[in-house]
Amino acid sequence: MEYNISQLSKLSGVSARTLRYYDEINLLHPSRTNEAGYRFYGDKEVNLLQQILFYRERGLSLEKIRFILYDENFDMLKALNEHLTELENRRERLSKLIDTVKDTIASVKGEFIMRDSEKFEAFKKDIVDQYEKLYGEEAREKYGDSEVDMAVNKVLSLSKEDYEKFQTLGKKVMEALKAAVISKASPESETGRSVASLHKEWLGYSWKDYTEQKHKGVVSLYVQDERFKKYYDREQNGCADFLLAAVDFWAEKL
């Protein structure tokens, strides 16, 4: 089956203008272009466009999608299974949030009493699921399943008050890091000690036992692993490096 650009636009919901743009940036070329300059797309291009839309739905940039699709090791079936897993996980998270909203509405209407802890279960589970997706494999390999499962259960069992403190403290760590880097403070200064102390307190909400070595090991990942580094440097470059240096210096003194 072959489609011209207008037909593919109607079939996929992607505008003809966008399809032309995808051609220009080497993301999706037509299978052929006739003498009049009209673009035509075959089965291969239809399948690639579907993949592009799946990856866009998952939040990937066009540059990243192009890199994935045209890698020599790209496997269509593997990619589809990854999409399925991601979308099923997203559906589960949304389902939990929908149930929480429904229960909250019923509680406000006086139909039943909703415990405060129940109001935050979906949000806590979402945090845990996102961490597991991004860092679970590395964390389990480094610390073992029992250690990671213990941390997960501790987060899930947080009370409403502790959950709010956990969230607030995480924001304070990022704010303190950003301010320290912008002010060019030394990691060995009182500012560095304060940052390391805040981070230790934040870890306490998910760790059963704290050790200086484990603290140093965790922050070393923030520099070694690009995903961690990107997370800590998202507002100010240098935050991950500052945290590592501060913890290295202050961990045994906290």
Digit-coded pLDDT (tens) for 26-71: 999 999 999 999 999 999 999 999 999 999 988 888 998 999 999 9
Region 77-105: mean pLDDT is 77
Instruction: Give residue 114's pLDDT.
Output: 59
Cβ partners under 8 Å of residue 191, min gap 6: 176, 179, 180, 183, 185
Q: Is the pLDDT of residue 117 over 60?
A: no
Residue 233 phi, psi (nearest 5): -95, 10
Lowest-confidence pick of 15-19, 56-60, 88-92, 115-119: 115-119
Instruction: Give residue 238's pLDDT.
Output: 95
Alpha carbon distance, N-terminus to C-terminus of the chain: 68
Q: Is the pLDDT of residue 138 over 90?
A: no
For residues 250 and 246, what is the distance between their CA atoms, to the nearest angstrom?
Answer: 6
Instruction: Give residue 119's pLDDT.
Output: 55
The pTM score is: 0.49
Q: Confidence class of residue 206 from pLDDT cuts 50, 70 and 90? A: confident
For residues 84 and 200, what is the distance between their CA atoms, to the nearest angstrom?
Answer: 37
Does an H or E element contain 39, and which?
Answer: strand 39-41
Domain ranges in the chain with CATH number 1.10.490.50: 159-254
Instruction: Give residue 150's pLDDT.
Output: 74
Domain ranges in the chain with CATH number 1.10.1660.10: 3-69
Q: What angle is formed at CA 218 by the lines to CA 213 and CA 222, rounded to 5 degrees?
A: 140
Cα torsion through 135, 83, 48, 63, rounded to 10: -30
pLDDT tens figures, 139-192: 667 666 777 667 767 766 777 778 788 889 999 999 999 999 999 999 999 999
**How high does pLDDT run on average in the chain?**
84
Instruction: Give residue 12's pLDDT.
Output: 95
Q: Cβ distance 202 to 169 under 8 Å?
A: yes
Higher pLDDT pick, 137 / 171: 171
Instruction: Give residue 122's pLDDT.
Output: 60
Instruction: Give residue 109's pLDDT.
Output: 67
Q: Is the pLDDT of residue 135 over 70?
A: no
Considering the domain 159-254 in this protein, what is its CATH number?
A: 1.10.490.50
Burial-class residue 61 by CB neighbours within 10 Å (0-12, 13-18, 19+). Answer: exposed
Lowest-confidence pick of 14-18, 56-60, 110-114: 110-114
DSSP label of 238: T
For residues 135 and 224, what is the distance between their CA atoms, to the nearest angstrom?
Answer: 13
Choices 1.10.1660.10, 3.40.50.720, 1.10.30.50, 3.90.1150.10: CATH for 3-69:
1.10.1660.10
